[in-house]
Structure 1
């Protein structure tokens, strides 16, 4: 069902400082900052060639990243994102198997303009999983 690893997301307290470290110390190609108010984050993607790293900073008071950073003030890995060809079929299969889709269970538009959902970390060994529909 899952396809390739789309990205690994890292929550950071300061997006500019984090992006500068990846650019200046690791020589990474850094994308433009992208605010995603629906998700409560501002993101920057780092292209690593075979996948991406997504740096996340809280956007607004109710950001889920703010709560994460309260527990992890220095930042840390937040989630991994896998591609799926058919998100509706993936959701149905996962729910039938007992996995929980976070929120209202309906896909939202993600940073790449594609539908995404998040799966409860307790159902996947403590790891928050994002599924992104790519159609391929």
Structure 2
């Protein structure tokens, strides 16, 4: 069902500093910040030859990333994202197998403008998984 690794997301306290670190120290191609109010985050993508790294910072006080950073003040890996060919079919298969989705249960538009769903980390070894329509 899952395809290629789309990205690994890292929550950061200071997006500008993290962006500069990846761009200036590691020499990576780094996007401009993008606010995603529906998800409560500001994101930056680091483009690598085989995948991406998504740097996440809170946008507003109700941000899930803000809550993550309260528990993990230094930041850290927040989730991994896999591509799926059909997000609706993937969601239905997961629900039928007993997996739990986070949020409304319907795919939402993610940072790449494509439908995404998040899977409960307690069902996947403590890892928050995002599935994105390929």
- With normalisation by structure 1, the TM-score equals 0.97
Matched residue, 1:63: 63
Q: Could you tell me how far apart the structure 2 residues matched to 1:109 and 1:46 are?
A: 20
Q: Does 1:88 align with 2:103?
A: no
**RMSD of the TM alignment (CA)?**
0.5
Runs of 4+ in structure 1 deviating by more than 6 angstroms, as ranges, are none
CA positional deviation for 1:25: 1.1
Q: Could you tell me how far apart the structure 2 residues matched to 1:123 and 1:19 are?
A: 32
Matched residue, 2:10: 10
CA positional deviation for 1:45: 0.1
Q: Could you tell me how far apart the structure 1 residues matched to 2:72 and 2:110 are?
A: 24
Paired residue secondary structure (1:8): strand
Q: Could you tell me how far apart the structure 2 residues matched to 1:129 and 1:112 are?
A: 16
Question: What are structure 1's unaligned runs of at least 5 residues?
Answer: none
How many residue pairs align between the two structures?
A: 134
Question: What are structure 2's unaligned runs of at least 5 residues?
Answer: none
Q: Could you tell me how far apart the structure 2 residues matched to 1:27 and 1:18 are?
A: 12
Q: Could you tell me how far apart the structure 2 residues matched to 1:32 and 1:26 are?
A: 16
